[in-house]
Amino acid sequence: MKDFPYTESKDTRSGFGAGLHELGKTNPNVVALCADLTGSLKMDAFKKDFPERFFQVGIAEANMMGVAAGMTIGGKIPFTGTFANFSTGRVYDQIRQSIAYSDKNVKICASHAGLTLGEDGATHQILEDLGMMKMLPGMTVINPCDYNQTKAATIAIAEHHGPVYLRFGRPVVPNFTPADQNFVIGEAVMLNEGTDVSIFATGHLVWKAVLAGKLLAEKGINAEIINIHTIKPLDAQAILASARKTRCVVTAEEHQMNGGLGDSIAQLLAREEPLPLEMVAVNDSFGESATPDQLMEKYKLNEAAIVAAVEAVMKRRK
């Protein structure tokens, strides 16, 4: 098992804020819109240095999506910022008609996704957003794993024409991917080559998969760990190549089983290479109030859950 040294832990939302600020300097067409959560989204630096390109929309997310769609007409590249819940479910029809169906170049940037939002509870902990967004034709869906990757993804999506959903979160997590990484939309990242099982993880679960890999190595299990930062378009080639090698698959995500990464990979395997698969995800449940770590343990989204899923799936391997 490879080692992944890191010197600091940071929140992924700060990676977004840093990437957005960088874009402010390099791309004059980038504009930012926020629905009264500038501090939470780490958009303050952009707001301070590029005030003429920052638009405070207030607590009016539906309007924000429409205004963003309109700003693309004239060549602007709007980045909208609010919590993941208010970036998706609250405004699904606005995204569907004014952005996705209209092929508008809007970047929907969503923080505080999943259980790790913590104490605010289930009203704010969306676990369905990846599913809603990936169902929209033409929508690109990205869930990076740490600060560096979120910053790189934020910069990369400005160069991609078309609607993008970029999902990140609130908690401080190990910042272990390279600062100078070349983020390629739709290209899976091999973290550890292995032979016994393929672990496909996204977002905060990527680091949990790394921790699980170490525990598995101690048990003599050689896990292949791949970071699927882009849920749509899915890197089918990388996923199938790994699955054909290891013959069993575990998926891991901070999302419902229905509609998430595991769902996408299950569809792919069923069509191309039916193999045993276990999903580490929330099983048809809302979240609740507690600390992020408590919730990740209770809802079985941690390294122990991944190890258990690996052991279960390896028993099913033929």
Partner 1 sequence: MPQTAEIATADLKEIAAQVRRDIVRMVHAVNSGHPGGSLGCTDLLVALYFKVMKHNPEQFSMDGVGEDLFFLSNGHISATLYSVLARSGYFPVSELATFRKLNSRLQGHPTTHEGLPGIRVASGSLGQGLSVACGAAQAKKLNGDDRRVFVLMGDGELEEGQNWEAIMYAAHHKIDNLIGVIDHNGQQIDGSTAEIGGLGDLRSKFEAFGWHVLQADGNDYATLLPALEAAQAATGQGKPVMFIMDTRMGFGVDFMMEGHKWHGVAPNDAQLATALEQLTVGTVADY
Q: Which residues belong to the active site?
A: 61
C-beta separation of 25 from 46 below 8 A: no
Nearer to partner 1, 57 or 257 (CB): 57
Q: 244: part of which helix (H) or strand (E)?
A: helix 236-246
Query: Exposed/middle/buried for 31, CB within 10 Å: 0-12, 13-18, 19+?
Result: buried
Look at strands 77-83 and 107-111 and give their pairing. parallel
Local structure of 153: helix, strand or coil: helix
At its nearest, how many Å lie between partner 1 and the CB of residue 102? Answer: 5
At its nearest, how many Å lie between partner 1 and the CB of residue 137? Answer: 9
Local structure of 300: helix, strand or coil: coil
Nearer to partner 1, 100 or 153 (CB): 100
At its nearest, how many Å lie between partner 1 and the CB of residue 68? Answer: 6
- Picking from 124, 127, 112, 62, the residue whose alpha carbon sits closest to that of residue 91 is 62
Q: Which residues bind partner 1 (CB under 8 A)?
A: 31, 52-53, 55, 57-58, 60, 62-76, 78, 93-94, 96-98, 101-104
Q: How far apart are CA 222 and CA 104, in angstroms?
A: 44
Residue type, 145: C
Q: How far apart are CA 224 and CA 142, in angstroms?
A: 21
Helices (H), 27-168: 44-49, 61-71, 84-87, 92-94, 129-134, 147-158
Nearer to partner 1, 102 or 294 (CB): 102
At its nearest, how many Å lie between partner 1 and the CB of residue 126? Answer: 20
Spell 128-152 as b/e; 16+ CB within 10 A means b. bbbbbbbebeebbbbbbbbbbbbbb
Look at strands 172-174 and 9-11 and give their pairing. antiparallel
At its nearest, how many Å lie between partner 1 and the CB of residue 61? Answer: 9
C-beta separation of 50 from 71 below 8 A: no
Nearer to partner 1, 59 or 179 (CB): 59
At its nearest, how many Å lie between partner 1 and the CB of residue 25? Answer: 17
Q: 206: part of which helix (H) or strand (E)?
A: helix 205-218
Nearer to partner 1, 56 or 285 (CB): 56
